[in-house]
């Protein structure tokens, strides 16, 4: 049994992370089966309603028969009413694209693997500007179809094969996946024209997505609970889209809805289909599209179909995306580095502070330093650690300036020869954004996952990233 806290934490993580997770589609609750009690209650209510109607009919009948009598009667019970179905007509989705799978330019199929892993075709779809974008994970590329003809192939060699949740916005593509530990999401941004990865972000709980608008994924829940809406995403105007299995029985039907920001239903459609949608996506102009796999007689995947479920609307007129394509700078703190001009050590009960040049940073009581010696006046240091929403360090450590920072890269904007770029780091929390020195660029691999970078002050004393050191060990 280890003694040090870090060792105990390491032991817990090492062992408990090996506990097998249940299948992904069982993480959320499946539709509940009616219990005996519920069935009984429903039966009693049903019988009660019928009895009430009979009583009412008898009263009315007696009333009619004894129209001339002076016997007063109490008002009859009101018959129970059923919940009406949405005011739409059940109909099927409209086929938008149908292509066979295969090799070469055709979308591929990832074959089945031992261990119960089924074969799978293209995992995700997006429809924008009259074009259909298919994420062809078997070949790590996005296929673009215009009027049912293949017009572009965008190789995404840096993409994760298991990614999904394809979203297209302007000249960018986005994919999302769970990381290998299952604890975080990985989001990538690509240039459609070149297929090169522009940004990669590993998102822990509470981190902001790099997607320009909300998009379902990476998985689609197959067993929806009745009456529980499943959000699909947003269009560029901020209207929300969702699907649900109506609480009222309507067979194999699903309702798809468009709602405004206040939650008012702008439009809906109820479809009845046996088609299993592998992915559902919302276009920026408010269409809902479904992706399904076609199967041959032997139940092998032979093609892929894209369906229009809810036609786009011309109603939304706003053209400004509801979310910016880059993380808001307001969500980031400056990475504090500089020459120590004052230091008041925090105690277990009293707060402290450290001043770097003319800037002062508050240190909460009991916040540290947690790993090394306290700073001394005149030394050049960086302060690392978690901070509260107000910017107070809740735990901190000190590193000599120039030693660098090791953290999870959330996002990267390359610098040009004349303008600085930025690197966003996921830890410490909240994320920090550090400028990248002019002319310094990194490869996609260097800005993916846990990496270390050299940080030195510029002429004005602001910390900036000047070089790549290597992956975090």
The site for other proteins (CB under 8 A) is made up of 1, 3, 8-9, 11-22, 26-29, 181-185, 203-206, 214, 216, 219, 225, 228-231, 233, 240, 242
CB of 173 to other proteins, least distance (A): 20
Q: How near is the Cβ of 151 to other proteins at its closest, in Å?
A: 32
Q: Which two tokens stand for residue 419?
A: 């303008």
Q: Specify the residue, 13 or 276, whose C-beta has the smaller distance to other proteins.
A: 13
The number of residues making up the chain comes to 473
Q: Calculate the alpha carbon distances from 126 to 37, 164, 287, 321 in Å.
A: 45, 11, 10, 17
Q: Which is nearer to other proteins, 1 or 71 (CB)?
A: 1
Q: Which is nearer to other proteins, 289 or 442 (CB)?
A: 289
Check if the beta carbon of residue 429 is closer than 8 Å to that of residue 386: yes
Residue 30 CB: number of other CB atoms within 10 A?
Answer: 12
Nearer to other proteins, 204 or 313 (CB): 204
- Contacts by residues 296-304 (CB-CB < 8 Å, ≥ 24 positions apart): 300/119, 301/101, 301/109, 301/119, 301/120, 301/121, 302/100, 302/101, 303/98, 303/99, 303/100, 303/101, 303/121, 304/97, 304/98, 304/99, 304/101, 304/107, 304/121, 304/122, 304/134
* Token pair in block for residue 129: 């500007």
User: Cβ(426)–Cβ(408) under 8 Å?
Assistant: yes
| Residue 221 CB, nearest approach to other proteins (Å) | 9
Give min distance, CB of 35 to other proteins, in A.
12
| Closest distance to other proteins from the beta carbon of 316 (Å) | 18
Which residues fall within 8 angstroms of residue 74, CB to CB, at 6 or more apart?
Answer: none
Q: What is the greatest pairwise CA distance in the chain? A: 107
Of residues 14 and 65, the one with the C-beta less far from other proteins: 14
Judge whether 400 and 303 are in contact, CB under 8 Å: no
Q: Which is nearer to other proteins, 242 or 279 (CB)?
A: 242
What is the closest distance, in whole angstroms, from the C-beta atom of residue 123 to other proteins in the complex? 17
Pick 63 or 227: Cβ nearer other proteins: 227
For 335-373, give one letter per residue: b (16+ CB within 10 A) or e: bbbbbbeebeebeeeeebebbbeeeebbbbeebbbeeee
**At its nearest, how many Å lie between other proteins and the CB of residue 19?**
4
Q: What angle do CA 443, 444, 446 make, to 5 degrees?
A: 65
Cβ distance to other proteins smaller for residue 141 or 258:
258
The whole-angstrom separation of Cα 157 and Cα 84 is 50
Geometric angle at alpha carbon 331, from 329 and 332, rounded to 5°: 75
Min dist. Cβ of residue 174 to other proteins (A)? 15
Using DSSP's 3-state secondary structure scheme, residue 311 falls into coil
Nearest distance from residue 183's CB to other proteins, in Å?
6
Nearer to other proteins (CB atom), residue 19 or residue 71: 19
Find all residues with CB under 8 Å of 12, minimum gap 6, and list them: none
Give the distance, in angstroms, between the CA of residue 10 and the centroid of all CA atoms in the same chain. Answer: 29
> 1 or 113, CB closer to other proteins?
1
Could you give the CA distance from residue 374 to residue 390 in angstroms, rounded to a whole number? 23
């Amino acid at each position: 049994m280890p003694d040090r806290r870090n060792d105990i934490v390491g032991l817990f993580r090492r062992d408990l992370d090996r506990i097998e997770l249940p299948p992904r589609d069982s993480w959320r609750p499946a539709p509940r089966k009616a219990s005996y009690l519920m069935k009984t209650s429903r039966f009693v209510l049903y019988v009660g309603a019928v009895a009430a109607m009979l009583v009412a009919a008898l009263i009315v009948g007696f009333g009619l028969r004894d129209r001339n009598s002076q016997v007063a009667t109490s008002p009859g019970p009101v018959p129970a009413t059923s919940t009406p179905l949405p005011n739409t007509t059940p109909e099927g989705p409209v086929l938008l694209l149908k292509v066979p799978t295969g090799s070469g330019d055709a979308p591929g199929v990832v074959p089945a693997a031992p261990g119960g892993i089924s074969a799978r075709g293209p995992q995700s779809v997006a429809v924008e500007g009259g074009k259909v974008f298919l994420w062809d994970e078997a070949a790590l590329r996005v296929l673009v179809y215009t009027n049912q003809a293949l017009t572009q192939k965008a190789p995404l060699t840096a993409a994760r094969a298991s990614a999904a949740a394809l979203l297209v916005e302007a000249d960018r593509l986005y994919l999302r996946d769970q990381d290998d530990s299952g604890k975080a999401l990985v989001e990538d941004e690509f240039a459609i024209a070149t297929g090169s990865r522009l940004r990669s972000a590993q998102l822990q709980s509470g981190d902001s997505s790099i997607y320009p608008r909300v998009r379902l994924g990476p998985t689609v829940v197959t067993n929806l609970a009745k009456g529980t809406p499943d959000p699909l995403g947003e269009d560029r105007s901020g209207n929300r889209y969702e699907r649900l299995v109506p609480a009222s029985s309507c067979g194999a039907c699903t309702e798809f809805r468009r709602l405004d920001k206040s939650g008012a239903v702008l439009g809906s459609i109820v479809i009845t289909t046996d088609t299993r949608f592998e992915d559902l996506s919302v276009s920026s102009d408010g269409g809902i599209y479904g992706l399904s796999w076609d199967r041959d007689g032997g139940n092998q995947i032979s093609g892929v179909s894209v369906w229009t479920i809810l036609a786009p609307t011309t109603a939304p007129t706003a053209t400004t995306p509801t979310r910016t394509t880059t993380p808001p700078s307001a969500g980031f703190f400056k990475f504090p580095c500089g020459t120590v001009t004052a230091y008041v050590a925090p105690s277990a009960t009293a707060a402290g502070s450290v001043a770097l040049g003319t800037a002062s940073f508050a240190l909460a009581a009991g916040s540290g330093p947690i790993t090394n010696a306290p700073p001394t006046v005149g030394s050049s240091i960086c302060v690392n650690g978690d901070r509260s929403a107000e910017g107070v360090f809740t735990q901190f450590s000190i590193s000599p300036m120039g030693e660098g920072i090791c953290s999870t890269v959330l996002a990267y904007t390359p610098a040009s020869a004349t303008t600085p770029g930025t690197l966003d780091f996921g830890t410490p929390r909240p994320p920090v954004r550090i400028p990248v020195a002019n002319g310094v660029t990194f490869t996609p691999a260097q800005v993916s996952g846990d990496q270390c970078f050299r940080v030195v002050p510029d002429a004005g004393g602001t910390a900036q990233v000047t070089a790549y050191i290597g992956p975090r060990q």
